[in-house]
Amino acid sequence: RQLATKGQSLGSRAGGGGAEPFETILVDPPRSGLDHKTRKLVASFDTILYISCEPLGSLKRDMQLLGKSHEVRCDATRKPPT
C-alpha cells in the first residue's frame, strides 16, 4: 500500500527527492519490526512515533538503527496483564 498526499507519493521520500509537507510519521509495524526499505523511509521524517508489541526484539533493534539519526525522547513500556 502506498501513502499519498495531494497526488504525491511518499515513496520518493526514501530516495531523498520527496517534497511532501509531512514532518511526522506514525508506525505500528508487525512483530518482526520495520524492514530495511521501510526503516529508510521512516528515518527521512523529523519525528517518528513508533508503536510496538515486541519491545525486547524488533523495537530494540529498530531503535538502535533509527537512533543513529534520531534522538529517542520517550520510551513507555507497558507490562502485559497477568
Q: Is the pLDDT of residue 34 over 50?
A: yes
pLDDT in tens, 44-56: 999 999 988 887 8
Q: Coil, helix or strand for 69?
A: coil
* Confidence (pLDDT) at 72: 84
- What does residue 5 show for φ and ψ, rounded to 5 degrees? -140, 135
Q: Do 39 and 48 touch, CB atoms closer than 8 A?
A: no
C-alpha cell at 14: 526514501
Q: What is the model's pTM? A: 0.67
